[in-house]
Structure 1
Amino acid sequence: MQGTIHVDSLTFQFQGNGENVLTDISLSLRAGEWVSIVGHNGSGKSTLAKFLNGLLIPVTGDVTILGMNTKDFNNQPLIRKKVSMVFQNPDNQLVAPTVADDVAFGLENAGVPFKEMQARVRNTIHTLGLSGLENSEPSRLSGGQKQRVALAGALVLQPEILILDEATSMLDPIGKKEVMDQVQRLRRETELTIVMITHDLNEALMSDRVIVLKEGRIVGDGPPLEVLSHSEMLADTNLIHPFIIEIMEGLKGKGYDLREVNNTIITEQELVDAIWKLKQMM
């Protein structure tokens, strides 16, 4: 599986605006990588996401998806089959009267044979923990369930790249956890390339890599713990340390460096375990 994205010197402004939304963006994503793109409102992260599946086409610069330049009109239909996108508001993505019909919607449009469609819908619903809700009305589901249905509708198309554009920002904590648990499971069990657009740095900690945008420019790029511990950069971009890093930095300031115990802490449970282990070592 290729699963790669290359962006080369991408600059973009909305017509009539006169100001760049994105300026000289260059980046490459490896196959199977989970990348979080973070930034304050207006930083350009959602605009960048629309270039990564061909919803927007560059005028200045190039975007290449799975070896296909998005400027080539002939490439665009295939790119959109290989890249699936889940947006912010699940209510805007659910179009059918039942969960099963909604998950099947994209397959019907793609002309997938009926028997194959049935099998793929059944398997994807099971994978996303939605079994038993096949005949339910999407409008009656919880926020987290709705977003999992939207995620199922994206995954049933068997994409190589999944883009989550603020996909948890309208959910309550339970709904956020439902969706993020599924994303983490996908990351463990598949070679899917995941691009997550988010302003939630606690979610970004779970990814392999974090890219920080400010006013349409990349100002940070690297492993989550390294990037999200950079106090000056976060302050400059109006972002706040994730809770876990805030605790770790506070303890480090008092002479207790949890990275000596575990240098890959990303969950609260791992934080608690590291504190307990450090206490035993004292």
Structure 2
Amino acid sequence: MKKHDVETYTKLAEGAKFFLDESFKYIDETLISESASLIYSKILDKIEPNEKDIEIFNTTTFSDNTIELSQSEEGILLSEETQDAFIKAWQDANTLARKYVIKHQITHKINSIEILGHLNNLGFFIETLTNRHLLFLYQSRIIDDFCYSRISVAKIMERLIFIFKDEIISKKVHLNEITNLFSLRNKTVHYTPDNSILLKPSISELIQIWNQCKKIIERFEKIEKINEEKFSILINAYIDGFKNKWI
């Protein structure tokens, strides 16, 4: 088995920091997109169809066939004037969403595509720190070669259950939200037709995941005592920043 020194811990920490930063960059972009969609819908409400639009509506046969609809000529159901108004509305909505912050209810379900980036990077963040913690346990001789060689290549939830098996039994540690995180991430990895529709986590769901991530990391840090900027503090700052800005 390859020997690992301080550089390995440093590289894993750098990776974890990168994934954490990226995950919260993406969640910020996600909420900007959510805001843009809300603004866009409000602007569209004010756009009235013109005579040409009404003529198109009255003379067009609408198909209920998904393939036919997807292959239909773009813009056939709107006049050029209305199409231009829709394009401008979307541009204005995005400009306003970046200029002004719109508060969201914690029950709000996220539908923007940027959520893929958040969930993937947050999953990578937890997985990287879990890998580093297992290496620490191995090099501290808390677990032996046999255990490490097998558990280090197991699925992420199996690794976490192994690490916290005693605390789980005593109910000092809960992994339900972490399980949910990786369930959501699996939907991004396997982005099937069904998963593309089902992947709509609520803001409250994400906050619960973040809070449990912080608790798990605090457990790692309590054992490792590595002299570095604490990831539990970093993620807590991101959580507070998100709450203050968006809800």
| TM-score relative to the length of structure 1 | 0.23
- Structure with greater Cα Rg: 2
1 or 2 for the larger relative contact order (CA 8 Å, sep ≥6)? 2
User: Would you tell me which structure has more strand in proportion to its own residues?
Assistant: 1
| TM-score relative to the length of structure 2 | 0.26
